[in-house]
Amino acid sequence: MSVPKNRFKAALAEGRLQIGFWQSLGTTITAEICAHAGFDWLLLDGEHGPNDLRSLRDQLMVVGPSKTSAVVRIAGADVVAVKQVMDAGAQTILVPIVDTAEEAALMAAAMRYPPEGIRGNGAGVVRASDYGRRAGYGKAANAEACLLVQAETVTALENLDAICATEGVDGVFIGPADLATSMGHMENPKHPEVQAAIEDAIVRIRKAGKAPGILMADEALARRYIELGALFVAVGSDVAMLAQGSRALAARYLGGEGDESGGVY
């Protein structure tokens, strides 16, 4: 039994657009439903979603049999977290708030076994190797590892060329919300200054030979980013679809615009 081909990594290397969908609810049910919806990739969110290692593993299990690739976002630039989610079966990892080339290089090393990296080797007992039944897993895993880093601060944009030049980085994801906050425009990622920075970053990332990515639910903006060269674009989320869809349905029958409290007390 060979190591599975990382279809997502191959698509980015070939310059093929990958359309994705965010998974923030942390459940296998929504992950399984969305895995068969037709998206190229799903983001399993371990940063802001209520996930732990077990829930991420379980979602990887239900997404695995589908034609959709799983991308796991960890909570931060953590070597141990990289090792654990890879052992659970992740091949593509998204790391938030990577501000420097040094941080990107550390994450690239964390994803790979020596001598290319520093990943701890427990291949004989983990899900990624089918619990030791995948012959040659340790040697083949490095080649299929795909690292995406998030540039979402002013500092990251200042260091963007160096981050893109880092060996082992496959793509750079622009985080509109955090970038807007870093630029002094909290809750306003559509501010002209933020949009100019995003567009410039997409062009620079693609020019550097790496894949640009972003999450954008506004269709006009999403298509604009694709025109500029973005290759992995998430166009919505499970939370937004449920929150907005349920509110709109209630309003059609009950009138009004729904409960403004957000349900958090």
Residue-wise pLDDT for 155-186, tens only, equals 999 999 999 999 999 999 999 999 999 999 99
Dihedral angle sign, alpha carbons of residues 216, 217, 223, 224: negative
Q: What is the pLDDT of residues 72-128, one digit of tens each?
A: 999 999 999 999 999 999 999 999 999 999 999 999 999 999 999 999 999 999 999
Q: Which residues contact 98 (CB under 8 A, 6 or more apart)?
A: 77, 104, 107, 149, 150, 151, 156, 163
Give the other-Cβ count within 10 Å of 151's Cβ. Answer: 31
Q: How confident is the model at residue 255 (pLDDT cuts 50, 70, 90)?
A: confident
pLDDT computed for residue 263 by the predictor: 44
Q: How confident is the model at residue 257 (pLDDT cuts 50, 70, 90)?
A: low
Helix (H) or strand (E) holding 252: helix 238-254
Which residue out of 36, 48, 185, 191 is catalytically annotated?
A: 48
Question: Could you tell me which of 64, 14, 71 has the C-alpha nearest to residue 36?
Answer: 64
Token match 């732990």: residue?
52
What ranges do the domains of the chain cover? 7-254
The CATH number given to 7-254 is 3.20.20.60
101-110 vs 79-87: helix crossing angle, rounded to 10: 30
Indicate the SS3 state at residue 26: coil
Range 197-205 average pLDDT = 98
Range 51-78 average pLDDT = 98
Range 201-213 average pLDDT = 98
pLDDT computed for residue 234 by the predictor: 98
- ω into 115 cis (within 30 of 0): yes
- Would the pLDDT of 65 be above 90? yes
Range 190-196 average pLDDT = 98
Q: How confident is the model at residue 139 (pLDDT cuts 50, 70, 90)?
A: confident
pLDDT computed for residue 265 by the predictor: 27
Range 119-139 average pLDDT = 93
Percent of the chain with pLDDT over 70: 96
Active site residue 48: yes
Q: How confident is the model at residue 1 (pLDDT cuts 50, 70, 90)?
A: low
Range 256-262 average pLDDT = 60
Cβ atoms of residues 182 and 205 within 8 Å:
no
Token match 């269709």: residue?
219
Helix (H) or strand (E) holding 237: strand 232-237
Range 57-68 average pLDDT = 98
Give the other-Cβ count within 10 Å of 59's Cβ. Answer: 30
- Would the pLDDT of 69 be above 80? yes
Range 26-48 average pLDDT = 98
pTM greater than the 0.75 cutoff: yes
